[in-house]
Structure 1
Amino acid sequence: MFSELLKIRKTYRNINRITQILNVLVKHGFGQFIEQLNLYGLIPFRKRIKLLTGGVVLDNTVAASLRQVFEELGPSFIKLAQILSSRPDLITERYAQEFEKLQDEVPPFPYESAKEIIETELGRPIEEIFAEIEETPIAAASISQVHRATLKDGSIVVVKVQRPKIKETVETDISIMKMLSSLMLKYIPDTEIFNPLGIISEFSKTIKKELNFFEEAKNIERFSKNFKDGKTIKIPLLYPEFTSERVLVMERIEGIRISDINSIDRAGLDRDEIAAALVNAYFKMILDDGFFHADPHPGNLFVLYDGRIAIVDFGMAGWLTPVVMESIAALLIALVHKDFESLIDQFVELGMITDEMDVDRFRQDFLSDMMELLLPLYDSALAEINFAEYLNTVTHLAIKHKLKVPSSLLLIDKCLLIVDNTVRELAPTFNFITAAAPYTSTLMMKKYGPKRVFDKLERHLSGLADSLIDTPKKLRVLLRRMIAGDFTIKSQIAGIDRLTRDLEKSSNRLSFSIVIASIIMSSSILTLSGTGAKIFDIPAIGTLGFTIAFFLGIWLIISILRSGKL
């Protein structure tokens, strides 16, 4: 009984949220999208009239309007847009650039709520944990906010506190996003190329990790281990005893924001050394550790007064497989040697070229585009080549040619572009290629070293041996099924689902038209008979029939016009 009540309550909450989402979509001109999903019944009547009579967003403003929709719908949708901004392969460059404008800054929630969450999560009064804590947060985002504090032992810290009920809000929104994605696939088949369910699945995994501060704590510990020498990079200390799923306490960093060039100069710090430390740190993460900080915007990077760089906010981090690490190193070597053929070989090794593609034709077209776009980068001296720009150009060429670009490679592309912009502000003449050389050399030595070659050969021979042993058995099973008549071939006609839906719509409209025609004929017969109550000497029932037929006809005409198929 209790579970049923919870289910009813959740359903009611979902309907309220769905209605809110649909109202925001109507407000920003996406009424036709709602009609295509057959959800207009959830829109209030006065807004439904607006939906039918206009309010369609123009093609040249749809990306900006969609950004405004996400911004108004709050935390879950803002986070979704931020993730999509790093996937131009899925949503196109225009939408990715528009979504990058979204700022994850919202008004703070009351200190009383933060205090209650801290005490509940840590299981003791706040006075027993902190000597003092500032009630006004120093930063507030969609998922959490941060307060300055001092522990009882005098340690200066920051306290990250999750927003009240944010987890429930996100779970509700994800379930609604999945429902909308399913409806998109059902009623708008063309959206299948964007893989909406896959996007929501990836988003769900990402944001659930971000909602669990234990995950961020693990990231801090990994980075602390990877940069344990602390010579150029400072990772804040974590206080595990004061960390829970919704509260995170770590060392407070006192330094200069890395984009504040004037303050860095006033402190007498060497900008070239700072730039070198930042680039070396990221090449170490990407080409050595295989684990990188995925949100390197200037607000998360501080320069300490001893010249080290402090990294904060570890909610977003990425993992790289050895294959991807080696491929990035190979991309850099290809840059130096202008070896575009080996670049395509790396795409094949990463599985970016699908089985449906004509590889020879692809090589020809891709090489032509690369020579046109990349050769101008070599007009400068090698030391001045912009590796981040090179990688970005290659990535977008891959997207243009519809390759399956790994999400980790797209995230690295975005990170390196941000780092590159920061470095160019600090030290315009800094040489990316020189900084990367030690890491690429080490990776290539590992890739082509005797041990790696032997291990790869051993795996291939083992796989070949398994295939030789299993093939006769599989052939016997196949023959047995064919003899027993238990052998079937599955085939699917492309576009058959869409054709079926179009036929259903056409038949429904035809049936609707027949009903309207029947109402008109019946009303005409009743009117000519002259029997029954009359209005202005016209039989009332006939008048009512004509009125109903008129409005149903208008509705049918609007529906046909809005579908764009006359």
Structure 2
Amino acid sequence: MKLLAIRRLFHIQRVVIRYRLDDLVFALPMLPWWLRALRLLMPWRWLPRRELALTRGERLRLALQDLGPIFIKFGQLLSTRRDLLPPDIADELAFLQDQVPPFEPAIAVALIEEQLGLKLEQVFTRFDQQALASASIAQVHAARLKSGEEVVVKVIRPGLKPIIRQDLAWLFLLARIAEKASADARRLRPVEVVGDYEKTIFDELDLLREAANTSQLRRNFEDSPLLYVPQVYWDWCRPQVLVSERIYGIPVTDLDALADQRTDMKLLAERGVEIFFTQVFRDSFFHADMHPGNIFVSTRQPWNPQYIAIDCGIVGSLTPEDQDYLARNVMAFFKRDYRKVAQLHIDSGWVPAETKVNEFEAAIRTVCEPIFDKPLKDISFGQLLLRLFQTARRFNMEVQPQLVLLQKTLLNIEGLGRQLYPDLDLWSTALPYLERWMRERHSPKNLLQSMQTQVEQLPHLAGMTRELLERMAQPHHENAPPPWRERQDGRVLRLLGAGLLTGGAVLIASAAAPLTLVAWPAWLMGGAGLYLVIRR
């Protein structure tokens, strides 16, 4: 295993040298002149390479392809951030979305037949040998089931796990070195971030998990005008094979085709934002790999555009506490309530509890005020987040690994929305939704549902009460204790049951302050009954 890891390291170094990626590093304007001069001492720079005839974007794209799925995923994320990248690099990285070179059709057929335990002709009346699309983890082929449905068959690339393990081993090593060498790196918690990414990418290798995610997302948006999710054919799904409905739509990046069918681009961009916030706050289940290669636009009603989402291998979810924190934080940003933003960071544990609110508030104001002087449509939420993180590092802010997927998805959505409609106002699109969500979250209906959930989560209380009632209802037998003892035991049990039921009811009804003056006597009464039962 160590030998394989060393070989992988040499492969990475060879790719960097072959495509002269060091040119991109040394071209960064913030590097001092003496550091740029060091490149002249690198021996490979004196050797001719035909790859130098390629553009810098082509070299970066080909290098990421050669390095494999983890690096391709990184390129996919970068390709959506045209506000951060030069156009020539962004255009080249866009080819990584679904134009990764496919593997041999014969290998795909053998893998599918091995997984299904059947020959292709026993399942499909037609199977296209040429791949319909090919990505970093898998490729898809068009087919038709015996029952007549047009489908796509997704199959995992062979031999991925050893390569991924080697790359992750190096990433973990670099993360540990960074944590030991830099206090700034420790605050970013790189080892935990790499650990989360390890889980995510290995989850993608299990297509049954992706099929379950797809079914859940389809159910969440059933009959929705915003988003369509294809049907999964579970009879033909296996860990390395996924068969789902074939969809027909326009790739979201094909702006010319969308314009030709007179798509309402403003509404399309705004609906992308609405879909994101709906998934995050209403469902707490969001598609976390929403790069352009996974998103299409329906051709049915261009004036009322509907998205089509595929490839649900990576999904994220948030706890109710995370949801509430995010909503309050974003709304505080909207209202320029910097003190509340600072306090929320402290309350949520993003920065240490001993942080001085006044100083943190002043630092946030210094970052935000110049940005908010621009029109809202010109403000990049992604850029704002980056500036805030840089500022918060001075206050020992730690990156929250559970929010890494959410941050990445939000950056994807903003980058995509700006491509579709450059004047997209992410803020004004999101604010009404968040305000409505906050009202509904604290409505009487939701409070009642929350109380019901708490009751359902206390089965031990229900079981204890049922046992008490059954004991109280048992008839007297010859071996039973004397009547006076039975009557005393009955009173003790009634005392215990009444105390537990009353205290439990008050606890549930007053979730915000469970130990109220009303609850204390009930709990004391129940405790006294319990003590007497134990004594007996």
8 Å Cα contact 1:85-1:99 kept in structure 2? yes
Select 1:208's aligned residue among 191, 194, 202: 202
| 1:313 to partner: Cα distance | 1.7
Distance 2:430 2:182 in 1: 46
Within 5 Å, give how 1:64-79 maps onto structure 2. Answer: 72-79=66-73
Q: Percent identity over the alignment?
A: 29
8 Å Cα contact 2:143-2:150 kept in structure 1? yes
Distance 1:424 1:184 in 2: 34
Report which stretch shifted further, 295-304 or 206-215.
295-304
Change (3 A) 1:398 1:458: farther
Select 1:360's aligned residue among 358, 361, 370: 358
Superimposed CA distance per residue, residues 134-157 of structure 1 (whole angstroms, 9 cap, x where no aligned partner): 111122122111111111111111
1:166 aligns with 2:160: yes
| 1:422 to partner: Cα distance | 3.9
Distance 1:394 1:13 in 2: 39
Structure 1: gaps (5+ residues)? 1-9, 31-50, 58-63, 88-92, 465-566
Instruction: Indicate the residue corresponding to 1:5 in structure 2.
Output: none
Instruction: Indicate the residue corresponding to 2:513 in structure 1.
Output: 457
Instruction: Indicate the residue corresponding to 2:8 in structure 1.
Output: 17
| 1:273 to partner: Cα distance | 4.1
**SS of 2:511 mapped into structure 1:** helix
Within 5 Å, give how 1:28-43 maps onto structure 2. Answer: none
8 Å Cα contact 1:388-1:416 kept in structure 2? no
1:396 aligns with 2:387: yes
1:274 aligns with 2:272: no
Letter of the 2:368 counterpart = M
Change (3 A) 1:183 1:100: farther
Instruction: Indicate the residue corresponding to 1:535 in structure 2.
Output: none
Report which stretch shifted further, 65-74 or 403-412.
65-74
Change (3 A) 1:276 1:70: closer
Number of equivalenced pairs: 416
Superimposed CA distance per residue, residues 302-326 of structure 1 (whole angstroms, 9 cap, x where no aligned partner): 2222232211121222212222322
Select 1:111's aligned residue among 105, 111, 114: 105
Letter of the 2:216 counterpart = R
Distance 2:140 2:387 in 1: 37
Change (3 A) 1:147 1:316: same
Distance 1:438 1:449 in 2: 17
| 1:242 to partner: Cα distance | 1.3
Distance 1:77 1:438 in 2: 37
Select 1:239's aligned residue among 217, 221, 233: 233
8 Å Cα contact 2:332-2:340 kept in structure 1? yes
Distance 2:414 2:516 in 1: 40
Distance 1:261 1:83 in 2: 19
CA RMSD after TM alignment: 4.3
| 1:15 to partner: Cα distance | 4.5
Letter of the 1:235 counterpart = V
Letter of the 1:310 counterpart = I
8 Å Cα contact 1:82-1:100 kept in structure 2? no
Change (3 A) 1:423 1:217: same
Letter of the 2:323 counterpart = M
| 1:351 to partner: Cα distance | 1.5
8 Å Cα contact 1:387-1:432 kept in structure 2? no
Superimposed CA distance per residue, residues 48-86 of structure 1 (whole angstroms, 9 cap, x where no aligned partner): xxx9974599xxxxxx99998655432234446767999
Within 5 Å, give how 1:60-99 maps onto structure 2. Answer: 72-79=66-73
Distance 1:197 1:460 in 2: 44
Structure 2: gaps (5+ residues)? 23-38, 46-57, 451-508, 521-536
Distance 2:107 2:195 in 1: 31
Within 5 Å, give how 1:329-344 maps onto structure 2. Answer: 329-344=327-342
Select 1:249's aligned residue among 240, 243, 253: 243
**SS of 1:250 mapped into structure 2:** strand
Change (3 A) 1:277 1:18: closer
**SS of 1:455 mapped into structure 2:** coil
8 Å Cα contact 2:187-2:398 kept in structure 1? no
TM-score normalised according to structure 1 size:
0.62
| 1:395 to partner: Cα distance | 4.8
Instruction: Indicate the residue corresponding to 2:131 in structure 1.
Output: 137
Superimposed CA distance per residue, residues 420-458 of structure 1 (whole angstroms, 9 cap, x where no aligned partner): 444455456666455435532343235555747942433
Instruction: Indicate the residue corresponding to 2:525 in structure 1.
Output: none
| 1:352 to partner: Cα distance | 1.1
Change (3 A) 1:341 1:459: farther
Within 5 Å, give how 1:81-480 maps onto structure 2. Answer: 103=96, 105-179=99-173, 181=175, 195-307=189-301, 308-355=306-353, 357-374=355-372, 376-377=373-374, 380=375, 385-386=376-377, 389-390=380-381, 392-402=383-393, 403-407=397-401, 409=403, 411-427=405-421, 432=426, 435-445=429-439, 448=442, 451=447, 454-458=510-514
Superimposed CA distance per residue, residues 91-130 of structure 1 (whole angstroms, 9 cap, x where no aligned partner): xx99xx9999753543211000000110111111111111
**SS of 1:445 mapped into structure 2:** helix
Letter of the 1:302 counterpart = F
**SS of 1:145 mapped into structure 2:** strand
